[in-house]
Amino acid sequence: MLKVGLTGGIGSGKSEVARRLSARGAVVIDADQIAREVVEPGTQGLARVVAAFGDGVLREDGSLNREKLGSIVFADSERLAALNAIVHPLVAERVGTLQRQADDKAVVVYDVPLLAENKLAPMYDVVIVVDAGDETRLARLAKYRNMPPGDAKARIAAQASRDDRLAIADVVISNEGPIEELDTRVDEVWSELSRRLTAQNSAPSGT
């Protein structure tokens, strides 16, 4: 099994890369998706979030109002840390389960937004960073998520810096241009990951 950590700042296009790697045969474990699942109505995770942040973070149907919660935590590092302390252990437990279910000879891509922030790079055989400049990311957040500029800047500021992410990268996927360029680069990266997996599987046991 080749364990690949995939990360990138909000608006970088990391999810687009994850989808393309999945289409090429990777087993993708999406930490963001799991983070949503562990705070669905009726879960222990949601109960803990409400206990910490109050009923005001719930919608009328009892589900988590992620936008409301985001506006609270991304402007306050202590409250963000409190939320992470609730959600991260639950996500880690679920990720472990999915990893055990994956084929031993698969390329397993862990889509982890906070890989750099939580110093998780040593957990992976390869770390891929999807990179784009702040202006590009702000424009995407406004266009595709209708995010106000102030909220977008706060989200970017709450994450690791661009330099910090690039410092842990084994592979960088630049995503400043059109989708066609991204497809070409993902093809190159997939070839490299496949080569590494083959080398790993052919190595003598114990090396």
Task: Enumerate the H helices of the chain as residue ranges.
Answer: 14-23, 31-37, 44-53, 66-73, 77-101, 134-145, 149-158, 162-167, 179-202
Show the tokens assigned to 20: 């393309």
Q: Do the domain assignments include residue 34?
A: no
Same domain flag for 55 and 129: no
Same domain flag for 119 and 80: no
- 49-105 residue pLDDT tens: 999 999 999 999 999 999 899 889 988 889 999 999 999 899 889 988 888 888 888
With both helix axes pointing from N to C terminus, report the angle between 134-145 and 149-158 in degrees, rounded to the nearest 10: 130
What's the predicted TM-score (pTM) here? Answer: 0.78
- Angle at alpha carbon of residue 195, lines to 191 and 197, rounded to 5°: 115
Cβ atoms of residues 130 and 13 within 8 Å: yes
- 97-151 residue pLDDT tens: 888 888 888 999 999 888 998 899 999 999 999 999 999 999 999 998 999 999 8
Domain stop point among 104, 125, 157: 104
At 183, which CATH number? 3.40.50.300
Question: How far apart are alpha carbons 82 and 75 in whole angstroms?
Answer: 13
Q: Do the domain assignments include residue 134?
A: yes
Q: Which residue, chain included where needed, has tokens 């970017």?
A: 156
Domain assignment of residue 86, given as a range: 40-104
Same domain flag for 10 and 74: no
Q: Do the domain assignments include residue 85?
A: yes
Same domain flag for 135 and 172: yes
Same domain flag for 75 and 137: no
When divided into structural domains, the chain yields a total of 2
Domain stop point among 84, 104, 124: 104
